[in-house]
Structure 1
Amino acid sequence: MATMKSEPAGESGEAGGEAGADVAGLVAVLAFAGIVVSLMQTLVIPILPSLPRLLDASASNTAWAVTATLLAAAVATPVAGRLGDMYGKRRMLLVSLALLVTGAVVCALSDSLVPMIVGRALQGLAAAVVPLGISVMRDVLPAERLAASTALMSASLGIGSALGLPAAAFLADRFDWHLLFWASATLGTLAAVLVTVVVPESTVRTGGRFDLVGSLGLAAGLVSLLLAVSKGGDWGWASPATLGLFTTAVLVLPAWGLYELRTDQPLVDLRTTARRQVLFTNLASVAFGFSMFAMSLVLPQVLQLPEGTGYGLGKSMLAVGLVLAPQGLVMMTMSAVSARLTRAKGPKTTLMCGAVIVACGYSLSLVLMSEVWHITLIACTIGAGIGFAYGAMPALIMDAVPASETAAANSLNTLMRSLGTSFAGALAGVVLARMTTDFGGYPLPAENGFKVVMAIGAGSAVLAFAVASFIPRRNTTAQEGPAADGPAEAAEVSRAKA
């Protein structure tokens, strides 16, 4: 499919309307694909307590249904981004969606632990859809539509997670649990068909040789680090397995970095990554990923704990999903506001505003967490801040890297957010395990434990604000995606009219 061209406004109303419809359709399809992939993060949450019985396995083993997805996503995201830059972003989008559908079908057909873990790992391999979609947008969209479109695509990570929880809870509560995966397979197939029909292939490619050694080294380092972080609480932080994995990560990742600096065609261009704008955006992304996941760990538990605890609200999983669902709608709305603020003041300002809003949302939880509407208010406030921040990050990254490295750079930024969520899960687990209260002979997380986690979430948002302050202040309103006869042509028309 040919790259879409942007018609100059006013030359042909019909052509302009057609181009506008094409752009709107492309953005809608890519955002839908991003939401479908992000649904995978919350898909199994409603059935996690029942998985030991459903799969005839221990609770610690069934937790691999979540861990496998996390590890696969961490490995696949930078690799798929680099392959997209080399061989075509649309092609890698379709490969990623095919892996998602395959994984969903494997899970839907499984009644034991091993196929479930395999299927969930395959679903995790689709995590690069969002950064690949952002990269396609840079290459083919008119410059004036880029900020709003990439903001929506970036926010789809949170939107899908927030909207997926009530939908998954509803299906799990009323139907056989396998339907969750048949539904995700159907949505993934629909997304793949729409991408095939609507999304053009980008002409911006780097070519070259794939860095197999670099990809294996990064995979070994990331898997060791994330496995130690995610399972350290279960295995013991001082256990030989946990310490061995941390040691492996400490040895492998620096060695991988040295190799990447010395190879001609690296998986990740660390020199580009070290640029001030990219570096501090990625560091802020880790803090934002931490903030987003800290809330996801606390608010559902407060809603579900028995009222007899004095701070639990005794709601069902379906009710939890419905209470938290507005957060996704707020993220979607705020992504458009984020784009307008970015055009007016620049993405650095937008990112810092998002950090302030997130910090305010977490601060609310320290005084308001005793009613259902309190929880919705907290979630929506934090969601608004995340919508601002996630909308600004792609703009900051794309303004600092060449078009030929867009997918790899955005994939690395997505990975940084994932690292933040992993660290949040580990730290929150430690806090809630140590700060407990007795309820009917069973230890439950104490109210103060929840407040400590939320306070840490507020602190991470403040840290993100501080890190973002070091980003160079640059105006990206005139960003151009240098794809041939795409936004570059639109930019030339705009300059000619000026």
Structure 2
Amino acid sequence: MVVTLALGGIVVSLMQTIVVPLLPEFPRLLNTSHSGAAWLVTANLIAGAVCAPVLGRLGDMFGKRRLLLVALALMVAGSLLGAVSDVFGVVLVARALQGAAMGVVPLGISIMRDELPPERVGSGIALMSSTLGAGGAIGLPMTGVIAEHFSWHWLFGGAAVLGLVELVAVWRLVPESPVRSGGRFDFGGAVGLSVALVCLLLAVTQGNAWGWGSGPVLGLFGASALLFLAWGAYELRIGRAGDADSARQPLVDLRVSARRQVLLTNIASVLVGFAMFTSFMVSAQIFQAPRDTGYGYGMSLTLSGLALLPGGLMMIAFSPVTALLSRCRGPRFGFLVGTAILMVANLVRVVAPHQLVVVIVATAVTSIGAAFAYGSIPAMIMQAVPVTETAAANSLNTLARSIGTSVCSAVVAAVTTASVMYVAGVEFPTADAYAAVFAIAAGAALLALGVGVFVPREGAPEHGTHADVGTAALPLSETDRDRIRITP
């Protein structure tokens, strides 16, 4: 079960990266503009951001395995659609359907919490959480080979095969969780959150192309802020009504999400996503840049992917270490260790010479830090939420990490296009631009470390919560006891 769910995490990461190697070629292949091709990433990101909390809440209500199968089925359908079409609009829809895979990781983590014995929960969720970053590094060599030597349709066809194998494995090997919250789905909350997220992520991902000070971008940021405020007020009202009406439950219980441990962990997750993704994103560009830039190595897609492979392997290899450290010292300690490593690794990239061995080692060390931080985050979240809200809470945290990687992409694009050089008539970022990017990433890791320091220590629960990793639960009201069925 653990292996099956962890492979699902790798599949999720692949859905986010499979089109990256061919983004410069898609304008020609799909008869679109460069800004249109960028939507192949944006559509996937937005769909994943919307699907993750919705599938998480539905999983808590109606069965996590059931919704896990739904997410995988949508991903397979999108992959098959992209494998057989050359029309840009159809491929864009295919990428949006692939975004549904984002719900696989929080649902898988929640199933592990419900099904595994207590001594296995920590290692299982650490592995599952780490695959969210490791899959990108492992998938880049594979997608690079396909992009260089085969038709681009095989990127989607291969994803369909992997998704189908994972679908069958989940069907055969993963049991349904007996923990259900029941109730009525919050459609109003789902629509409000979806629209607010679309406005926010659209502004972040298109800011560099449209201009950060342009009317559309500023309007989207303003609309997003207003929509989030209105959505929050609505969710709080639904939550209060739910105390009296057991059929009504908010999409996200903001009273739980506002607890210091949950809130600070989600804020830190945004910063960790930024600090981690910088290395993967920029390192690939440095590996492929020509040697005449003074920092590049002129590698092919395949070779640059292989240079990133040690980073992905480190994330998987260190996930058991993360679980051991969390069990001995608590997940908060593992998170602080991880963010400290991320900060140091990014600082090294600012001042270290541009030698291939140094870059590869620094990328691998960044992955080790990400493994510690990512592997600890779900346990920190689950210490503070009821078992009936595990999937929804982890979905919100996965969304926070995705926002961090999205902001990272936008910042990297803005900084690297602001300082450029020309080599053989082609525009490339300067070495100083990349140094600035890593300095910003180190600052993000430092902020994450600072936020993590204020996360409550294990064993000191606040407001009557129980801080037992793997079996965290909140005190239940009489109404809750009547409406929630929990298998001992």
TM-score (norm 2): 0.92
In structure 1, what residue type is equivalent to 2:95?
R
Alignment of 1:83-102 (within 5 A): 83-102=58-77
Give the 3-state SS of the residue equivalent to 1:128 in structure 2: helix
In structure 1, what residue type is equivalent to 2:278?
A
Q: Specify the alignment match of 1:304 in structure 2.
A: 288
Q: Specify the alignment match of 1:350 in structure 2.
A: 334
Farther off after superposition, 27-36 or 439-448: 439-448
Q: Specify the alignment match of 2:90 in structure 1.
A: 115
Alignment of 1:11-410 (within 5 A): 26-263=1-238, 264=242, 265-410=249-394
Give the 3-state SS of the residue equivalent to 1:111 in structure 2: coil
Task: Please state how far the C-alpha of 1:228 moved relative to its aligned partner.
Answer: 0.5
User: Given that residues 290 and 297 in structure 2 are in contact (C-alpha distance below 8 angstroms), is that contact kept between their aligned partners in structure 1?
Assistant: yes
CA–CA distance in 1 between the matches of 2:409 and 2:382? Answer: 29
Q: Specify the alignment match of 1:415 in structure 2.
A: 399
User: Given that residues 123 and 323 in structure 2 are in contact (C-alpha distance below 8 angstroms), is that contact kept between their aligned partners in structure 1?
Assistant: yes
> What percentage of residue pairs aligned between the two structures are identical?
49
User: Given that residues 41 and 161 in structure 1 are in contact (C-alpha distance below 8 angstroms), is that contact kept between their aligned partners in structure 2?
Assistant: yes
Q: Specify the alignment match of 1:18 in structure 2.
A: none
Q: Specify the alignment match of 1:12 in structure 2.
A: none
Q: Specify the alignment match of 1:480 in structure 2.
A: 471
CA deviations 1:404-442 (Å, max 9, x no partner) are 000000000000001111111112211111111233344
**Measured at CA, do residues 48 and 462 of structure 1 come closer, stay the same or move farther in structure 2, by a change above 3 Å?**
same
CA–CA distance in 1 between the matches of 2:255 and 2:119? Answer: 29
Give the 3-state SS of the residue equivalent to 1:247 in structure 2: helix
CA–CA distance in 2 between the matches of 1:396 and 1:207? Answer: 25
CA deviations 1:307-336 (Å, max 9, x no partner) are 011111111111110000111110011111
Q: Specify the alignment match of 1:6 in structure 2.
A: none
User: Given that residues 162 and 324 in structure 1 are in contact (C-alpha distance below 8 angstroms), is that contact kept between their aligned partners in structure 2?
Assistant: yes
CA–CA distance in 2 between the matches of 1:479 and 1:129? Answer: 19
Task: Please state how far the C-alpha of 1:298 moved relative to its aligned partner.
Answer: 1.3
CA–CA distance in 1 between the matches of 2:421 and 2:470? Answer: 54
Task: Please state how far the C-alpha of 1:296 moved relative to its aligned partner.
Answer: 2.3
TM-score (norm 1): 0.91
Farther off after superposition, 87-96 or 286-295: 286-295
Farther off after superposition, 193-202 or 53-62: 53-62
In structure 2, what residue type is equivalent to 1:434?
A
In structure 2, what residue type is equivalent to 1:304?
Q
Task: Please state how far the C-alpha of 1:479 moved relative to its aligned partner.
Answer: 3.4
User: Given that residues 143 and 480 in structure 1 are in contact (C-alpha distance below 8 angstroms), is that contact kept between their aligned partners in structure 2?
Assistant: yes
CA–CA distance in 1 between the matches of 2:402 and 2:173? Answer: 29
CA–CA distance in 2 between the matches of 1:36 and 1:484? Answer: 32
CA–CA distance in 2 between the matches of 1:275 and 1:376? Answer: 39
CA–CA distance in 2 between the matches of 1:178 and 1:227? Answer: 27
User: Given that residues 37 and 100 in structure 1 are in contact (C-alpha distance below 8 angstroms), is that contact kept between their aligned partners in structure 2?
Assistant: no
CA deviations 1:100-138 (Å, max 9, x no partner) are 100100110111210110000000012110000000001
User: Given that residues 295 and 379 in structure 1 are in contact (C-alpha distance below 8 angstroms), is that contact kept between their aligned partners in structure 2?
Assistant: yes
Give the 3-state SS of the residue equivalent to 1:126 in structure 2: helix
In structure 2, what residue type is equivalent to 1:417?
R
Farther off after superposition, 356-365 or 138-147: 356-365
Farther off after superposition, 474-483 or 51-60: 474-483
Task: Please state how far the C-alpha of 1:369 moved relative to its aligned partner.
Answer: 4.8
User: Given that residues 52 and 58 in structure 1 are in contact (C-alpha distance below 8 angstroms), is that contact kept between their aligned partners in structure 2?
Assistant: yes
In structure 2, what residue type is equivalent to 1:452?
A
User: Given that residues 323 and 375 in structure 1 are in contact (C-alpha distance below 8 angstroms), is that contact kept between their aligned partners in structure 2?
Assistant: no
Task: Please state how far the C-alpha of 1:392 moved relative to its aligned partner.
Answer: 0.4
CA–CA distance in 1 between the matches of 2:455 and 2:346? Answer: 24
How many residue pairs get matched?
A: 462
In structure 1, what residue type is equivalent to 2:131?
S
Q: Specify the alignment match of 1:493 in structure 2.
A: none
In structure 2, what residue type is equivalent to 1:123?
Q
What are structure 2's unaligned runs of at least 5 residues?
Answer: 243-248, 460-466, 474-483
User: Given that residues 352 and 465 in structure 1 are in contact (C-alpha distance below 8 angstroms), is that contact kept between their aligned partners in structure 2?
Assistant: yes
| Structure 1 runs (4+) greater than 6 angstroms displaced | 481-486
CA–CA distance in 1 between the matches of 2:228 and 2:42? Answer: 20
Task: Please state how far the C-alpha of 1:342 moved relative to its aligned partner.
Answer: 0.3
Root-mean-square deviation (Å): 1.5
In structure 2, what residue type is equivalent to 1:273?
S
Give the 3-state SS of the residue equivalent to 2:102 in structure 1: coil
Task: Please state how far the C-alpha of 1:293 moved relative to its aligned partner.
Answer: 1.7
